[in-house]
């Protein structure tokens, strides 16, 4: 094993560079590929007031149990093809990347961080992690400490794996978003009570409510997600939604934990040789209420295990906001070691005397007496409380929703179909089938698009798509019908009229653009970065944004909900032709200054354009505020009063409109004097700008 490690170490060194740089003490500036690898030979610090920028392709090698402590700022942005690597020299283990500056954002993108004690350890510090791989840690993958300041943190689209203790540890920090990560093989050598993600509270008087969304949490030695409030007051209250949690010892272990668990798939959580494993969700701790709704809980040894007089809200008939609507599917949770091979949907144990509401759920049967056999309450043991499961859903009540917004875009001897995911359904989505002229002609498709190349130019085809579900076998009704006629291509032609950002009413960044005509356009992507470097930007839309491919004016809006407050993000509009060749526009930028309850402007107003004068081949920005209850229109005219550029139906909020100096026919305008106007029910203002060459 040592020989293999040494060979790998030497290969990395040879591939990267014939040079190296030894570092210790204070470091700052730029680490380049030319100086790589950077050998950390002692405790190393980025001092306050300084920054360290690490370029793509750099290797950082720790030669001992050292910290890289950041009192200033660190930015490590690699690329998909050229990542940044932090790792240990053979037969050593390093300590941690410790972040101590609480004012500045620390960024890690396309990094591989392995072989330490803790990968990244922010102490009340802002952190952004994207497209990274963090693994083989002796302690935790990422330890987020918010003991005095709940610093904003986002961990997205990354893989956390092979961690001896906890994959992501969140301590008293509510401003955390954990989005679309794969978290696997954690708690490898840890005692029980550790796993993929742990949220804990030691003494915070306010709720700890991180968002955990869209993750794949699987094959962890112990729990997938752990909530632990040491105060016993339910101040740990995560929002857990749209995750796939499978093949862990247990899905959840929630001790004195509140919050909301919804729209998750929680399945096959058990250890085949351990009859004490295998709950989908375990609740423990009196007086704490967790809302559980719209989940699919199946294939676990026990669906829901309740002890310590915990009071999860699994479903009620109450109209009080915030109560559970039920709609959980809790079935086929087979306790393999039970001689009767019974289905254990809900189990109270031991001496759990509190009653529990679990109404409006589906338990795999339409017969109340059959459902009752899957529930362990006072009907089985008189000392237990009662599970109130009636009324319950029957199979006829279940929804198997269809795909949404099917479109068919014709090209030369090809039709491209795209659609969106169905709304939540009472089943596990396995894939899609495409129907052409009402006949199924594909197998099961896992993606959200299909290219039909078996078409003839000039012939019209009708399509619809159905979603296929498991649990109780279900096939959705058909999506909307889309019609297309393929024809000869004339090349990509798109007239972009506008492209700008705005701050939405819910305090996210909106990106809006309009086109005057489209032809042979496959679709749009929105790309983003924390710098103006497009080469290291990444797509933030989950699927291709469908075009209209028409000659009329089309308007599009995309809302970026994964923002960090006080951080400037740069955005590009990527247009793909029918051969997936991109054309880019941008960047435009936006900053959401602070985290507060969203509020709309008190009045509609137009700020002065900047820069002014504007040079050709540059971009001018116009800041517009629109108050609640109004919409506004913005226009640019030449000195003869001819309309050059227009943006209509500007909704309430804060907007930045960028103009590239081209008219509505995408022609470069002449130098001279121009006027820009904002009109709404409460304002009509005209201001002057100059374009120079």
Q: Which pLDDT tens digit goes with each residue over 34-75?
A: 999 999 999 999 999 999 999 999 999 999 999 999 999 999
**DSSP code, position 4:** H
* Residues 471 and 502 reside in one and the same domain: no
- Domain total of the chain: 4
Q: Could you give the CA distance from residue 169 to residue 153 in angstroms, rounded to a whole number? A: 12
* Residues 468 and 430 reside in one and the same domain: yes
Q: Which pLDDT tens digit goes with each residue over 103-132?
A: 999 999 999 999 999 999 999 999 999 999
Q: How far is CA 345 from the centre of its chain?
A: 30
Find the angle CA(652)-CA(654)-CA(655) to the nearest 5 degrees: 100
* Residues 11 and 83 reside in one and the same domain: yes
* Residues 123 and 41 reside in one and the same domain: yes
- Which spans in 378-417 are helix H? none
Tell me, what's the pLDDT at 69?
98
DSSP codes of every residue in 278-322: -EEEEEE-TT---EEES-EEESSSEEEEEETT---B---S--STT
Classify residue 391: in a domain, yes or no: no
Top-ranked range on mean pLDDT: pick from 24-33, 287-296, 473-482: 24-33
* Residues 680 and 627 reside in one and the same domain: yes
**DSSP code, position 208:** B
Mean model confidence pLDDT for the chain: 87
- Residue 82's domain spans which residues? 1-138
User: Could you tell me which of 153, 140, 157, 150 has the C-alpha nearest to residue 174?
Assistant: 150
* Residues 2 and 127 reside in one and the same domain: yes
Q: Which pLDDT tens digit goes with each residue over 423-438?
A: 989 999 999 999 999 9
Give kind and range of the element (H or E) at residue 372: helix 368-372
User: Could you tell me which of 482, 485, 519 has the C-alpha nearest to residue 408?
Assistant: 482
CATH number for position 419: 2.60.40.10
Peptide bond into 391 cis (omega under 30): yes
Q: What is the mean pLDDT of residues 77-89?
A: 92
Give kind and range of the element (H or E) at residue 553: none
**DSSP code, position 190:** P
Q: Could you give the CA distance from residue 26 to residue 44 in angstroms, rounded to a whole number? A: 6
Tell me, what's the pLDDT at 275?
63
* Residues 562 and 458 reside in one and the same domain: no
Classify residue 534: in a domain, yes or no: yes
Indicate the length of the chain as a whole number: 693
Q: Could you give the CA distance from residue 428 to residue 331 in angstroms, rounded to a whole number? A: 13
* Residues 504 and 536 reside in one and the same domain: yes
* Residues 634 and 588 reside in one and the same domain: no
Q: What is the mean pLDDT of residues 364-371?
A: 93
Residue 536 phi/psi, 5° resolution?
-105, 10
Of the three residues 530, 564, 599, the one that is the final residue of a domain is: 599
Judge residue 422's burial from the number of C-beta atoms within 10 Å of its C-beta, 0-12 exposed, 13-18 middle, 19 or more buried.
buried
Residue 611 phi/psi, 5° resolution?
-75, 160
Question: In 10 A of CB 301, how many CB atoms?
Answer: 26
Kindly report whether the global pTM for this prediction surpasses the value 0.85.
no
């Amino acid at each position: 094993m040592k020989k293999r490690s040494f060979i790998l170490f030497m290969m990395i060194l040879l591939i990267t560079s014939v040079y190296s740089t030894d570092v210790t003490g204070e470091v700052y500036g730029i680490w380049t590929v030319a100086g790589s690898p950077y050998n950390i030979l002692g405790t190393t610090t980025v001092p306050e007031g300084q920054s360290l920028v690490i370029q793509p392709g750099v290797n950082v090698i720790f030669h001992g149990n050292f910290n890289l402590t950041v009192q200033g700022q660190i930015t490590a942005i690699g690329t998909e093809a050229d990542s940044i690597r932090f790792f240990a020299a053979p037969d050593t283990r390093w300590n941690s990347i410790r972040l101590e500056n609480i004012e500045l954002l620390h960024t890690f993108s396309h990094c591989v961080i392995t072989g330490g004690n803790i990968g990244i350890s922010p102490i009340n510090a802002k952190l952004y992690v994207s497209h990274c791989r963090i693994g083989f840690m002796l302690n935790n993958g990422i330890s987020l400490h918010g003991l005095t300041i709940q610093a904003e943190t986002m961990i997205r689209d990354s893989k956390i794996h092979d961690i001896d203790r906890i994959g992501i540890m969140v301590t008293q920090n509510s401003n955390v978003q954990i989005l679309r990560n794969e978290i696997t093989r954690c708690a490898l050598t840890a005692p029980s009570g550790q796993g993929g993600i742990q949220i804990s509270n030691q003494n915070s008087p306010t709720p700890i409510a991180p968002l955990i969304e869209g993750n794949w949490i699987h094959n962890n030695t112990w729990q997938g997600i752990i909530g632990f409030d040491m105060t016993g007051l339910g101040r740990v209250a995560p929002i857990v939604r749209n995750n796939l949690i499978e093949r862990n010892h247990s899905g959840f272990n929630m001790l004195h934990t509140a919050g909301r668990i919804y729209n998750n798939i929680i399945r096959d959580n058990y250890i085949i040789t351990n009859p004490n494993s295998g709950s989908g969700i375990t609740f423990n701790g009196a007086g704490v209420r967790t809302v559980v709704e719209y989940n699919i809980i199946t294939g676990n040894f026990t669906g829901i295990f309740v002890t310590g007089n915990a009071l999860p809200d699994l479903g009620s008939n109450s109209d009080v906001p915030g109560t559970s609507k039920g709609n959980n599917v809790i079935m086929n949770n087979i306790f393999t070691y039970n001689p009767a091979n019974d289905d254990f949907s809900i189990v109270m144990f031991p001496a759990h005397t509190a009653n529990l509401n679990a109404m409006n759920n589906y338990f795999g049967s339409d017969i109340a007496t059959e459902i009752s056999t899957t529930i362990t309450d006072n009907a089985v043991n008189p000392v237990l409380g009662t599970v109130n499961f009636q009324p319950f859903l029957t199979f006829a009540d279940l929804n198997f929703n269809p795909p949404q917004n099917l479109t068919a875009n014709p090209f030369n001897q090809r039709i491209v179909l795209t659609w969106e995911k169905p709304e939540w359904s009472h089943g596990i989505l396995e894939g899609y089938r495409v129907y052409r002229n009402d006949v199924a002609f594909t197998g099961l498709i896992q993606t959200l698009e299909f290219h039909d190349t078996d078409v003839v130019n000039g012939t019209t085809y009708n399509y619809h798509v159905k979603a296929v579900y498991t649990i109780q076998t279900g096939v959705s009704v058909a999506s909307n019908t889309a019609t297309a006629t393929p024809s000869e291509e004339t090349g990509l032609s798109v007239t972009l009229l506008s492209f700008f950002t705005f701050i939405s009413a819910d305090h996210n960044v909106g990106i809006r653009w309009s086109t005057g005509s489209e032809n042979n356009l496959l679709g749009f992507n929105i790309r983003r970065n924390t710098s103006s470097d497009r080469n290291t930007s990444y797509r933030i839309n989950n699927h291709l944004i469908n075009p209209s491919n028409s000659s009329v004016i089309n308007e599009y809006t995309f809302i970026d909900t994964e923002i960090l407050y006080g951080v400037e993000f740069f955005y590009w509009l990527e247009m793909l032709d029918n051969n997936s060749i991109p054309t880019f526009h941008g960047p435009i930028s936006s900053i959401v200054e602070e985290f507060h309850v969203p509020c709309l402007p008190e009045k509609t107003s137009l700020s002065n354009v900047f820069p002014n004068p504007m040079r050709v081949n540059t971009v001018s920005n116009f800041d517009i505020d629109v108050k609640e209850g109004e919409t506004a229109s913005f226009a640019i005219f030449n000195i003869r009063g001819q309309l050059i550029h227009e943006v209509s139906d500007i909704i309430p909020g804060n907007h930045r409109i960028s103009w590239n100096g081209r008219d509505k026919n995408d022609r470069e305008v002449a130098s001279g004097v121009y006027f820009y106007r904002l009109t709404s029910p409460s304002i009509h203002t005209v201001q002057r700008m100059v374009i120079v060459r």
